[in-house]
Amino acid sequence: MAPAEMRVEVVYCPGPGVTDLQVLVLAPGATVADAVRASGVVVRHALDAGALRLGVWGKPRPAETPLRDRDRVEVYRALTVDPKEARRQRYQRHREKTAKR
């Protein structure tokens, strides 16, 4: 017998250290897109709904992926700096600090 409802979380981090978490109760058969729509995260953060990158429990998933009870839907933001470039910049700052000593 299938449950009459399921609980899911929708999470979006608009910036470092800031988390928007919504716990939702949805009907069985709901998709990732349904959860994102019901959470209101797109409207609250003025996101482009057509360009969203989504995932479930840290794994990228398409919007039409069906959800299960207690799934965690994640809305990923675009990277502002390439991770390799950020690492280079941190290393350069570290070298500059140690050279001044």
**pLDDT(23) > 80:** yes
CA distance 44 to 47: 8
Answer left, alpha or beta for residue 46, where phi above 0 means left and psi between -120 and 50 means alpha: left
The H helix count followed by the E strand count for the chain is 3, 5
Q: What residue spans define the domains of the chain? A: 6-100
Chosen CATH of 6-100 out of 3.10.20.90, 3.90.1150.10, 3.30.450.20, 1.20.1560.10: 3.10.20.90
| Global pTM value | 0.75
User: 76-96: per-residue pLDDT in tens?
Assistant: 987 777 888 889 989 998 888
